[in-house]
Amino acid sequence: MPAKRFSCGPIDKIFTRIGASDDLASGRSTFMVEMSETANILHNATRNSLILMDEIGRGTSTFDGLSLAWACADHLSRQTQAYTLFATHYFELTSLAEEHSGIANIHLDAIEHGDSIVFLHAVKPGPASQSYGLQVAALAGVPRSVIENARRKLHKLENQAVREPLQAVEINQFDIFASPEPHPALSLLESIQPDDLSPKQALEFLYQLKNSMDLN
């Protein structure tokens, strides 16, 4: 049901990045179309703009797409500061709410009923607790045998992620945004002034450097 009334502050422009397809006539892929529209928003939106963005980064590899989506959301919060609705299936982006006071996570509520799902269209605070990709695929008519095969593969990937947390691809990707720990050898190199070392001290330092490399 549409709203009976609506009020808001001044809006100079409305920007949307929702849906995309190949632009074959211009020789542009889906991802190029997506990035062109995103670039237009990042360059031209102001603090008084309304921005609606959906699934940024889905047209490329997981890490590239996640990194681009994260950077775009971060830029919109830090630089543009416009009112923005940013829909994504990258759960890792929910951590931005902990870094920016102007970002809040919300999700649409849903109820599972057996192997199906009912979307309630009710907005709830916080990130979604799970993804409903398999249920939506079933609703769309994907054969049951394919859904069951996907479910088995999903369980295998989830179990592998639990056993090998450092190698998890979809379950644990926060580490790609963390700064790597410096190698002990680099710390040693940063702690010295080569011009101040005597030949004997330089030789002793080389042994220390070699030992730090052997430990790693």
CATH 3.40.50.300 fits 8-104, yes or no: yes
42 or 139: which carries more pLDDT confidence? 42
pLDDT exceeds 80 at position 143: yes
Mean pLDDT, rounded, for 38-63: 92
- Tell me which of 49-53, 54-58, 130-134, 191-195 is least confident: 191-195
Confidence band, pLDDT 50/70/90 cuts, at residue 171: very low
Each residue's pLDDT tens digit, 102-136: 999 999 888 887 767 888 889 999 998 888 888 88
For the stretch 15-18, contacts whose Cβ atoms lie closer than 8 Å and that sit 24 or more positions apart, written own/partner, are: 15/40, 15/41, 15/44, 15/45, 15/49, 15/50, 15/51, 15/52, 16/51, 16/52, 16/53, 17/41, 17/52, 17/53, 17/54, 17/56, 18/52, 18/53, 18/54
Tell me the pLDDT of the chain averaged across its residues.
82
Asked whether 47 and 12 are in contact (CB, 8 A), the reply is no
Q: What percent of the chain has pLDDT over 70?
A: 82
| Average pLDDT, integer, range 184-208 | 74
How far apart CA 99 and CA 76 sit, in angstroms, is 13
Report pLDDT for 135.
87
pLDDT band, residue 60 (cuts 50/70/90):
confident
Q: What pLDDT score does 160 carry?
A: 79
Across the range 164-178, mean pLDDT stands at 51
Whether pTM > 0.85 for this model: the answer is: no
